[in-house]
Each structure stands twice: as structure tokens, then as C-alpha cells.
Structure 1
Amino acid sequence: MSQALDDLTKHGVSIYLDDISRSRLESGDLRRLVERDSVVGVTTNPSIFKKALSDGDGYDKTISDLARSEFSAADALRILTCMDVRDAADMMAPIHRKTDGHDGWVSLEVNPFYANDTEATVAEATLLHWMVGRENVMLKVPATHAGFPAVTELIARGIPVNVTVIFSLTTHDQALDAYMTGLERAHQRGLNAWKVRSVASFYLARLDDAIDRELDSVNAPAAAELRGKVALAHARLAHQAYDDLHNGERWRTLSHSIPGLAPQRLLWASTSTKDDRYSDTRYVTQLAIPGSINTMPEKTLRAVSDHGVIPASPLGSDPDSARQIMRDLQALGISFDKMARQLETQAVTGFQKDWREILDVLASRLATR
């Protein structure tokens, strides 16, 4: 293991791989990343599955079997994704047991076309939870108006949830509330709420990319000074909100009733730098915050391993300068909340596009078998 990855782990950061494929599983590559690079979890999304299905022939035999059994493209997609996630979860199961559920998680996306339908999201997530049949799998639910009550109901049923595509503190607050409400309901129903887990996935590089484009359109020295600073500042404030919640009365009351209750952890996503002017490790090394998760594609993992340097103090220790950055952004006439809402919508729309394209490819391949 490299010094940087070792330092991350010692700081209490959980390293997750943002990728999965049949070839990665069957070749032993994922296992090597676990053994060599301290990877302790896996995240997936429709874009990742789209790439996996497009590369190589790892899925050919299974698709042939599904075609012979006359499965639809939608059901075939459920089966293929559940197979990969189940196998990854089995590989991560020893970590899950060793850490008592802190790590060893694999995330599986609910059909993004249900993002604005609470009942459909709950039904699909419950079905996928049953199909995978592994306790260390989180169902990914987007942070939409309909998604939050779905999160609450799933947590109340004891189903772990990754609340995804979060770009703002407002959305994060809603994700935290949805999780807390779900825990309270689970406790009322007599479930073992202390076993339930959730993460809140903040997107970073996409946020900076969009904000920087707005800043570049402002003819002012102050705008140039803010380039590349907003996503990390926002992450600081998210960490502050996390601390505030778990020092608050509501959490104290619930954790007193349910000893060993787990907080909704922060997960840093979209960690692959999009601007070549920035360090390709910045969304990892600058977020060495104890207790957080950093999920990264292998390219970013390799960059951190090769030349990443972890600072002595975690970024989350300085919220005051982060608040000033957000005030400076507002002073330039850029509405952060408006942009965050647009990005959340665009992220869901992007996943829907990938999902539709996967279904089209599968339908074509099923028809020719």
C-alpha cells in the first residue's frame, strides 16, 4: 500500500472504489484492490453499469441465458446488476463483519426513472434488497422531493440507503431528517434500528466544474479568486452540519433509546478532477476527515497512491473560512442554491439517459440471441 492510502486509512477515511464490472470481479482485480490498496467498499451507478456492459464479453453468456428464458430488458438489467453487486458484497462481507457494519458496503442504484415517485422507489428498492439478499448492500435513492419520504420508509423497514446526488446543505439537511425519521419509525416498529446504516453522497468535482463556469463569466478579480474553492468549502460546511446534528438534542434522545445507533456518514463522490489546472488528488487528500467515506474511480485511486499527500489537519476543522467563501460567491450574484438544484436535476436526468441506453443495448442483444 502507498503512503498516501495508508495515511488516509489512519485518518479514519474509508476508501471505496467507484466502479464495478463482471471482468473486475472474475479477474480478481477487486480483491487485489482490497488487499493492496485498502479498498473497503464499492459504489455503482447507471453510468458505471453502462460502461461495464459495453466493454468486453463478460456478460455474454448470462445475456444468452436470459434471452433463452425470454426475460425483458428491464428484468435482465435487474438481474445483471444484482449479480455483480451480490458478488462484490460477498467479497466485502469479511470487512463488513470485522468492522461491525461500519464498512464493507456495496451500493446499488434504484431505477432512476422512479426518482419522482416515492411508492415506486420504495417498491423497487425493497425488491432489489430481496433479490441481492446481502446485508451489506445499500440501495441508492436520489435526493429528490419524492426520494426523501422513500428514504424514510426504507430505513423504517431496516433497508440500508445511500442518499445520492447531493449538492447542497439544504438537500443534506433533508437527507439527515429522512434518515432520522426512518430510525424513529424503525424503533417504534420494534426493529433493531441500531443495525440500520445510511450514507449521504456529496458530489464535488461536478459542483466545482459548474460553479467555475459561472465564475468565468463574471468579469471581476474576486471571481477568479474563488475558482476551485466552492466544492471543498461546501464539504467543510457539510461536515459541520454532520457534527451539529450528532451533538443535538434529537440525536442524543434517539441514541439514548437505541444504544449503538450509527450516524448517516458523509460520502465524498464525484472525486475525479475535471479541470486539468487542479490537482488530480484534491477531492481526496483535502478531505481526510475521520469517519467519512471517499469513493473514487481507479484512475483517482492510482493518482492518490502515486503522488497524493495528506495534510496534517483535516479540512473539516475550519468552517469559518468556508462560510466566507460562500458569502463571497453570493456577493458576485451567483445563487449557489439555484445551481445546486439544477445540478441535482441534471444528475438524475443523466442517470436516466444512461439507464435508457442500457435498456436499448440489452433489448437489442436479447433479441439477437
Structure 2
Amino acid sequence: MKKRYIFLTGIVLTSTLFYLFLSMFSHLQSSIENQIREEFNKEQSLVTERIAIQLSEIFVDDATKNIQFIRQSFALNKLIEAINSRNRRDIDFWKKGAEKVFFAFLNSNTIYHHIKYADKDGNEIIKAARDDIAYFYKEEDDEVSKLENISDAPIFVNSINLNEGQVRILRISNEDHMDMNIGTPIFYKNQKKGAVIIGIEMKEVYSILTPVKHGKTSHTMLFTDKGELLFCSRGLTEGQHKGEINYILEKPSGGYAEIPESHGEKDILLATNSLKVGSERWVVAMESTADEVTGQIKRFEEQKQRLMVMLLLVGIVSLSYFFKAYSDKIKAEIRTDEEIKTSKKLEAINKELKNSKK
């Protein structure tokens, strides 16, 4: 009965210890999962920050420098001077010179699609487009592109009203595509003589965003801070990004968080960073599903299970060892008591025998 009580007590103690170890490791696992998710999202945030910096360099820094370079080009300024003097021969000569500068610029800066110079009334004087470069260098007799009046174009209206040296960046959205236009006014002897406009095709920007990944399931998006979707590397629609848009509207400056569900996926790790482009603020976003980190967590879970089994086996072996040792001790004490009793009985018998002989 005593042995059974000791054995049952040992089982209860072992179960209690095992439960405590299991609880401790479950809490540890939860902490590690949260830490892994946190670190993964921080890394995504760093990636979006680098993308935002790169886009800012393209649309703000480089575009501003390049349009100022075009505005200050010698051939263009000589053309404006010839137009001001109304010298037809000089106008034709410097117009061809300015066209060569425009096309050479487009040829060496592939992100830009077209360059225009229009007078203060919006009449295009020069129009150079990337699609027309081949025709230009063939020296066709016909004009490369049909010149138009762009006085109603938003980029011209915004640019012509600027002061000297100022630059306007404007996003133009059409049904089938979206472009960025950069414009700045041109002055001659402190008088406004028109504006230079450079166009960037957004597909060039998308080519930068598309290959960027941080994990197998990750994809990159571009929004405005108003929640308008500009680009998604997976081709998802704006309506499929409700979770991301809600987060951007809540934190337009950027950050990282977990979204419960969006576009049919759950537990999404989202990171964002913003940049100023013209009058708009864009938000670069990158997201991955929680499956990106569960691989690491599953490996930890397997290790935890193996450790639990080892601890259980160690507990059972230790309990068996101590139980056997204790049992052997009890048996030894019982044998000792029996030997003492037997010895005392023998002594008593011997005394009786001695007394009977007398």
C-alpha cells in the first residue's frame, strides 16, 4: 500500500512538472513568434524605405536637375533668342539644334518618354518623343510629331504660372495608362517665354517595383496617401486592398503592422513608407503572409516537441530510478528489522535452552 502511494505521488509530481515545462515553453514559443513577426516586418519596412528613397530620387531630385539642364541648354536659349528676334533662318537652325539636344537626352535617359517646349500661349515649338527617335535620326522630310496647342493641359497651366527655377510635378491618369509630367517655365530677359515639359511613363517606375520581394509570398504596391492604388505587382485591384487602404488612411506617413485579412488572405504582415511627389504623397507598401515566418516557427515547434519528449523521458527515468532506490532502501530496512527480530528470537531461544540444562 505504501509503495503504491509513493508511485502515485511520483506520477502526480511528474505530471505537474511536465505541465509547468509545457506552459513555460508555450509562453516562450508565443514570445518567439511575436519577435520573429516583428523582425520580419522591420526588414520589410527597411525595403520599402529604400524603394521610397529611390523613387524620390527619380521623381524629385533627378527630374528637377534634368529639367533644369534642358531649360538652361545653350541650343534652347538660342532658339528663344531667335524667336524673340523673329529671325526665321536662326529659328530653323536652333530649332534643329534643340531637337538634337532633346533626342540625345531621351536616348541617354530611358526613363523619360518625351520632352516639349511650348511658348507662353501653349503652342508647341518642339516635341521630341522616344517613339520618334528612330524617325528623327533618319532625317525624314515630314515633321516628327504633329505640334499642338497645350494651353489647357494641366501640366502647362501649372508650370507657366511658376516663378523662374520652380518645378511642378504632376501625375496624369488616363483610362489605359498613367504618366508623370514635370514642367518648369522659361524666362528670357526676365520675361516668361514658355515652359519645358518632360514626361515619365509610369511603366518605367513599375519595372523598379515589380521584382522587389522580401519572401516567397511578398508583393509590392504603390498608393497615394488618400488610398488610391497606383500599382500592384500581383495585378490586384484597388477593391481587393481594403485592409491595406484602411491602414494607409490611418497611418499615411508609414509604419508596419499585421492586417487580419485582405484579398482572401489572412494574417498579413504589412510595411509602408511614404514620399512626397509634387503635390501628392505616395505610399510604398510591401506585404507578406504570416506563412513567411511560420516555417521558422514550425522548426522551433518540432524542436520544442523533441525537447518535451526528452524531458518526459528524463522525468520518467529519473522517477523510476528514485522510486527503485527508495524501494530498495525500504526493502533493506525491512530486511534489517527482520534480521534484528530473528536475532533476538534466536538469543531468547538460546537462553531458554541454557536455563533448561541447568
> Scaled by the length of structure 2, what TM-score is found?
0.24
The structure that has the greater radius of gyration is 2
Normalising to structure 1: TM-score of the pair?
0.24
| Structure with greater strand percent | 2
